[in-house]
Amino acid sequence: VLRLLLGVRADATWAREDGATPAHAAAYTGHGAALHFLLDARADPEGASKDGATPAHLAACRGHEAVLHLLLGKRADLDRAKEDGTTPAMMAAPTGHLAVLRLLLGARADPDRARQDGATPTHAAALTNQAQVARLLL
């Protein structure tokens, strides 16, 4: 479907009112092939919705490690913060996605970067009883 739409010059950077793009949807659902196709059609790997969420935030919260690898290959900043200071690591920590957090840390994400309310990924892990994640982040 993407190939057909982009073949008739659909805009790969189109966004809904909230700023979410097809790249956000592909990242959230873990459709790496679709995201790759969109990025090749000039979708922005760091395109942010109105609250500052990027495809990396959505992939991180859902545990889509392969999508994050793809975004990293396109030089996306995997430590970019949303408007409230939430980073992809903060999104992954409470859900226990260890492989995602290892990837983010390997890409130089700051495990101590706090949101505006002062919470860090370690706090999020502790609050959701993700002991392995908390140990990784400490």
Q: What is the CATH number of the domain that holds 70?
A: 1.25.40.20
Structure token pair of residue 59: 């992939």
Can you give the pTM of this predicted structure?
0.89
CA distance 7 to 99: 36
Residue 35 main-chain phi, psi, to 5 deg:
-65, -40
* Host domain of residue 111: 2-137
Average pLDDT over residues 90-112: 96
Q: What is the pLDDT of residue 5?
A: 46
Residues 33-48: b if buried by 16+ CB within 10 A, e if exposed: ebbbbbbebebbbebb
pLDDT per residue as tens digits for the range 27-80: 999 999 999 989 988 899 999 999 999 999 999 999 999 999 999 999 999 999
Q: What is the pLDDT of residue 97?
A: 95
The domain total for the chain is 1
